[in-house]
């Protein structure tokens, strides 16, 4: 079992005071739909090639691709709290999409968009938003989602001296007291996949989840895998990733666009091209490669 902390995350922890981004990939609104329907929730209409020519795109600011994300912007999704530097998984993906749409890096402008505001109903001041946002049917009623650019598994994090740290399978977690944030895809994964004999302790926000683990209120917590690496490297000393497992249907992240945006099929076309060329896999390996060190729990 590999419990080595990721070096790339340890390198940035001194620069930022961080909180969990569990809610980012969870549904902290009133979602109750399964992420297994993410593919159906994403808008998949293909665009005619001419409609995606740069000079034909309907943009918030003509000639500029405006991309939204929250602040602070945390690694491994962004580095140095600066989405515009192209460093970090989601920054790199955003610039790769922009390139597919015909924009240079200088023609990309970033704007701050609070997480919950990104998928709220109504007009948007961005062309698309990228912020670890899970594709769910409830959210898709309010906004457009692109095709998934990443599917995050779930992970179990425990203190190194906890009995839960020795779990080698999902069955070993049956009698473990788990902690999880309310309304998240992680809670759904616990209920549907782990199916513990003891009800998980549910907390209102990500800070409470971290505190519960630190104070031993729970044996282990369940978060998405990228967040798990950050928790063990930056937030909870003496913690370890017990292992990873797939969420129901996969926890798929998509970029968010205004409802019925004319840009949606063009972004889908760009993401499909990045996937087909292997660029998405390359970026995932470059910025999220630590995931390979977490054992599978079955």
Parts of the chain belonging to CATH 3.40.190.10:
31-151+251-291, 154-245
pLDDT at residue number 185: 82
DSSP one-letter code for 72: S
What token pair was written down for 113? Answer: 């968009």
Residues 6+ apart with CB under 8 A from 108: 64, 65, 67, 84, 94, 95, 98
For the domain spanning 31-151+251-291, the CATH number is 3.40.190.10
pTM for the predicted model, two decimal places: 0.69
pLDDT at residue number 75: 81
Q: Between 3.40.50.2300, 3.40.190.10, 3.40.50.300, 1.20.140.10, what CATH number should domain 154-245 receive? A: 3.40.190.10
What token pair was written down for 11? Answer: 């390198």
pLDDT at residue number 207: 87
> pLDDT averaged over consecutive 10-residue blocks of the chain (298 residues)?
39 37 44 48 64 95 97 89 96 98 98 94 97 93 97 94 95 97 90 95 93 97 88 93 84 95 98 98 86 79
pLDDT at residue number 18: 37
What token pair was written down for 92? Answer: 């790199």
> Is the dihedral angle over the CA atoms 106, 112, 115, 119 positive or is it negative?
negative
What token pair was written down for 238? Answer: 């003496």
> Residue 260's CB: how many other CB atoms inside 10 A?
9
pLDDT at residue number 88: 94
Alpha helices for 190-243 (secondary structure H): 206-214, 225-230
pLDDT at residue number 48: 64
pLDDT at residue number 15: 37
pLDDT at residue number 118: 95
258 phi, psi to nearest 5 deg:
-60, 150
């Amino acid at each position: 079992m590999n419990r080595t902390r990721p070096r790339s995350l340890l390198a940035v922890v001194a620069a930022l005071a961080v909180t969990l981004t569990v809610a980012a990939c969870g549904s902290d609104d009133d979602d109750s739909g399964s992420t297994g329907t993410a593919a159906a929730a994403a808008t998949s209409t293909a665009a005619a090639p001419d409609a995606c020519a740069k000079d034909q795109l309907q943009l918030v600011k003509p000639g500029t691709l405006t991309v939204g994300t929250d602040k602070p912007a945390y690694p491994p999704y962004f580095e140095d709290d600066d989405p515009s530097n192209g460093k970090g998984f989601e920054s790199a993906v955003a610039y790769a999409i922009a390139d597919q749409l015909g924009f240079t890096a200088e023609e990309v402008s970033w704007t701050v968009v609070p997480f919950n505001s990104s998928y709220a109903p109504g007009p948007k001041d961005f062309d698309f938003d990228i912020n670890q946002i899970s594709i769910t049917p409830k959210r898709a009623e309010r906004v457009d989602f692109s095709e998934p650019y990443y599917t995050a598994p779930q992970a179990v994090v425990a203190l190194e001296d906890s009995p839960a740290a020795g779990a080698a399978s999902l069955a070993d977690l049956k009698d473990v007291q788990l902690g999880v944030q309310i309304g998240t895809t992680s809670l759904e994964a616990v209920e549907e996949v782990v199916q513990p004999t003891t009800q998980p302790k549910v907390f209102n926000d990500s800070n409470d989840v971290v505190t519960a683990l630190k104070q031993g209120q729970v044996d282990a917590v369940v978060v998405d895998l990228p967040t798990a690496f950050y928790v063990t490297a930056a937030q909870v000393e003496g913690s370890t990733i017990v292992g990873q497992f797939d969420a129901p249907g996969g926890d798929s992240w998509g970029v968010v666009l205004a409802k019925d945006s004319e840009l949606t099929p063009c972004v889908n076309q760009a993401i499909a091209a990045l996937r087909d060329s292997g660029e998405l896999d390359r970026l995932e390996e470059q910025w999220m490669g630590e995931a390979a060190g977490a054992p599978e729990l079955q």
